[in-house]
Amino acid sequence: MENPFEIILDRLDRIEKAILNLNCISDIPDSNQIMNISEVATYIKVAKTTIYGMTHRNTIPHYKNGKKLYFKKSEIDKWIFSKRIKTNLDIENEAMEYIRKNPR
């Protein structure tokens, strides 16, 4: 009969190797990940028809290959974060900076 401690050590080694493999896979940057229209709709939580409308109006960054639409995740992230609304504090700071630079 095999030593139960050896069995446990063997299983731990296999688990450790599996975890290391998962870590290597997750280290791959997803900034260049290509998404289709369904994935983008799910990612930004809107309907597919909304995405089609955005591509028609060229308001969302996209690529077209024949009849298929493709999106780069990094470009979608950049597009989303470029829509930031300024806070009142941001507006006040800009106004003060403008007054400081442009005295009468």
DSSP 29-85: --TT-EE-HHHHHHHHT--HHHHHHHHHTT-S--EEETTEEEEEHHHHHHHHHTTPP
Give Cα separations from 8 to 1, 5, 12, 20, 73 (angstroms): 14, 5, 6, 18, 42
Domain-located, residue 63: yes
Domain interval for residue 51: 30-81
Number of domains in the chain: 1
Domain-located, residue 11: no
**pLDDT 10s digits, 8-25:** 888 888 888 888 877 665
Question: Residue 43 pLDDT > 80, yes or no?
Answer: yes
Domain-located, residue 71: yes
**pLDDT 10s digits, 88-97:** 998 999 999 9
Read off the CATH number of the domain in which 38 is found.
1.10.10
Domain-located, residue 62: yes
Domain-located, residue 38: yes
